[in-house]
A and B are shown apart, each in its own frame.
Chain A
Amino acid sequence: MSSDEGLDKGREIFIEEAQELLTELESALLELEENPADTELVGRVFRAMHTIKGSGAMFGYDDIAKFTHEVETTFDMVRNGEIPVTTNLINLTLMARDQIRTMIEASQGGPQVDEARSKEIISGFKLVMAKDSAEREVASSVTATDTSTTGQKEAPIGRTSIVTYRVRFRPAPELFATGTNPILLLNELREVGKATIIAQTEAIPALEDFDPETCLTYWDIVLTTDKGIDAIKDVFIFVEDLCEVKIETIDEGGVFDEDERHLKLGEILLSRGDVRLDDLKGVLGKQKRVGEILVELGITDESHVASALAEQKHIKEVKEQKQKTDTASIRVPSEKLDKLVDLVGELVTVQARLSQTVTDFSDGVLMSISEEVERLTWELRDNTMSIRMLPIGSTFSKFKRLLRDLSADLGKEVNLTTDGAETELDKTVIEKLNDPLVHIIRNSVDHGIEQPDVRVAAGKSRYGTVHLTAGHSGANVLIQIQDDGKGLDKDVLFAKAVEKGIIQPDAELSEKEIFSLIFAPGFSTAQKLTSVSGRGVGMDVVKRNIEALRGTVDIKSKLGVGTTITLKLPLTLAIIDGLLVKVADDFFVIPLSVVQECVELTKEDIARMHNRHISNVRGAIVPYIVVREHFLVDGPRPDVEQIVVTEVEDKRVGFVVDYVIGEHQTVIKTLGRIYRDVEGISGATILGDGTVALIMDIPKLVSVVEKIESSSYETALSA
């Protein structure tokens, strides 16, 4: 690799790293705004700036380094308690963060950086530094106590070293008489850090002499914590004069030096070739352990040895933990992952073919190999999919910033709360989810949340809340955006839809149908257009985007209480569980997630319903679509057909097919350009024998057929 190439690679990593740092910076800043006294957060901001500056300079981004330097200097002063955290400072730093992002984008071929703005921001920081150092001088000359308090404040920084302690807690026998429960104290120790606790029970006499009101047990505890010895002492504060509490430090810094381990005699002899491994093992097997010898000689007893061994184990675990976190993850370009997923997809297809071929041979040996391959393939598939999973939390934290800026623009006071940030979703889904979520949140803040005075008048808190939740539900992920704003007004929505010509004035709609009107193209309920929510082109795009991800949108609202929008998304895009069906010689796949049940449809059933596309599924009326007719498949209908009953947007619709073959692991292949716009087909898959099956887009099919039906109904009326 030439040095140029190395530098390019470095740049790539720098840009990726900088993006992450900027995200981290943003969330740290927003948290800092809420807790200005949190020195830990100041530390985070400083470190992020420091890293961007350092690596920027290393890879030739001198402008970024120079610009970041000023911000870093300011936060160094904040860290030293010389400058207080103010809203002004946070605003300025957020601006700086955006500017750094623009600079990075410019280096990638993005729009040019506005140099004047950089200068403006830097002079802003200089002003903050100059003003505050001047103020500080005045302050320090007036009162000496002021500086001493700031001195105390900065103390916690850097006190995060991890120390392992050995604690012996030996309570007096009369401990219980003070109403103390030692178990609670031990539990409290567990909260302080990683604790290994061993009870020493040698003082407890035989049952007939035992007095349950006295405490004869004592405990040996090995505790690893970063909270310091005072935290441990605090646990025992009420019992310190009734108990013997001995705290010793056994390891500082949490890192155990590798090099300190000396080679054992046997190892040296072995490496010199003076003894053979087998001989050594045999001799070692005869040798008694130190603990056993000590117990045998009566020098100590088993419980003490057990305690010492536990300490050894604890320290080993802490060490392993430390090593684990050091190499917890590696960075891989996402194209490599995409390639891997493609390959696994191919493998799944080939595997299906293998299984099918093997069934034809009916060879026991081959069969068992094929089953082994099948098992491994599924495991490989699940593992590969899980690699692509990312927690949705990073997206959530972006919205915090969005909400802050939005509410400032609109003069509203809105808080964002989140739940389930650790929920994992396919990387591609997360990326495609971003825009729809932005739209929905904007709408919630702009149309949903009222102005503070309106809220107060309605008896609500002046602070509106937008609550984001993510969670798993079967093979789907549910994302909810909940606001406590004014809610949707059915009558207003209805009138608006009539005015826009979306529905007829005499249309009879359920509450749900009225709410879903906001997803209709060209619908906007805001009385005035604002810069925020745009021109009502948003929500229909949202619905389309979510449906493109094979997800659904659901909306619930209560007037005056708020609105909840629920997005239901599949876990992954590449492989789905499908139901394989056959119509004449063609295969189709229906996503299993929407399938409810399969029932038979006979010629008599059809006759009973007078050829109308309606079936009676255990007393419930279910309309159906005949796949054969819809896709114009030739050939006679068999006497007994199958209805696959699906549920889409709370409606049950059946699909009539010839045969239901069964569950099928469906690797989704996109259709070629010519077929891409075919309505009702979302992709294709290759079956075990090499034939192609089309994947039906159930929601789309239902809406297409509905449209055809209603227009034919209207033609029938007007005729």
Chain B
Amino acid sequence: MKWSLFALFALVCAFFLADLLLNRVAEPTRRGDGAAVPFVHALHGDSIGLPCSACHTGAYAAARAYLPSKAECMDCHRLPLAEGAGIEALDSALAKAPEYPWSRKSSLPGHVVFHHGVHRTAGVACTDCHGTGYEKDVYGGEKFDMRTCLDCHRGGVPGNRNFRAAVHCAACHR
């Protein structure tokens, strides 16, 4: 009787331990892991004078920033940008890429509103929030919570420019 109780207790503990160890939040994924040619922001951004909104079409004016479709990649990549044959590996990778190479279901909950355009107009740079996404091409690894928003809206981000914005509940919540 005593041993069976102990075994039961150990089993329950094992379940909790397994839950703790195995149920992790998904690791951020580097985009292009499966693709022949991974996408690199550094090659597309400032280095060739493209603004973020060239591909993330909503980033400067709309609520959502959007991820580009393949058609938007091809807008530039199909054009004869330079004399010469182009890069064979890149052309074949683009030909094989799906219509929407990136898809993302926003993790913004339904009771929160976020508008990229408003932040842009207020002078917030994309990399103020999406620094890792841009620099390391990490996709889905950024953790935004209400504290991230409030730190900035209250004007208290150390080393950052002093943004102050509305902090009443209904400014962002519905």
Answer whether A and B are interacting partners: no
